[in-house]
């Protein structure tokens, strides 16, 4: 069964970039212990777009969905009892889904 890749495309205004990156940094480690999680990258746009890419790779669609319904949902519902709800740093979001068909890694010396 091939791994699945989810790319969340976040439209982030220039004045919100630092906020977005700080929020991801403060959640470091939140996804790594999830069952079926394989990889994460936050990709900052360099030129020609205001869209960040949030790349995650999962063992299966079911593992991704379980994370979305559990830890991810809880993380996006705020900082806990009595904590103020933060406004999103992104002004738009789209999720792209892919299956891994081929992959390569550096050759070992």
Per residue in 55-85, pLDDT (tens digit) is 999 999 999 999 988 867 666 555 444 555 6
- Range 40-60 average pLDDT: 95
CA separation for the pair 79, 27 (Å, rounded): 11
Q: Give me the pLDDT at residue 87, please.
A: 81
Whether pLDDT at 6 is above 80: yes
CA separation for the pair 60, 9 (Å, rounded): 20
Ordered domains of the chain (ranges, CATH): 4-77+89-98 (3.30.70.100)
Contact (Cβ atoms closer than 8 angstroms) between residue 99 and residue 2: yes
Signed CA dihedral, 17, 33, 58, 103: sign only: positive
Whether pLDDT at 99 is above 70: yes
CA separation for the pair 29, 47 (Å, rounded): 29
Mean of the per-residue pLDDT values of the chain: 87
Q: Model's pTM, two decimal places?
A: 0.81
Q: Give the position of tokens 């960040």.
A: 52
């Amino acid at each position: 069964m091939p791994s699945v890749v989810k790319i969340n495309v976040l439209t982030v205004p220039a004045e919100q970039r630092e906020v977005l990156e700080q929020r991801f940094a403060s959640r470091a480690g939140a996804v790594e212990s999830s069952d079926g999680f394989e990889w994460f990258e936050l990709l900052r746009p360099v030129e020609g777009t205001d869209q960040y890419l949030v790349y995650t790779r999962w063992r299966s669609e079911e593992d991704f969905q379980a994370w979305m319904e559990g830890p991810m949902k809880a993380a996006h519902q705020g900082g806990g009892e009595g904590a103020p709800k933060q406004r999103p740093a992104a002004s738009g979001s789209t999720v792209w889904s892919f299956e891994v068909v081929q992959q390569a890694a550096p050759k070992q010396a």
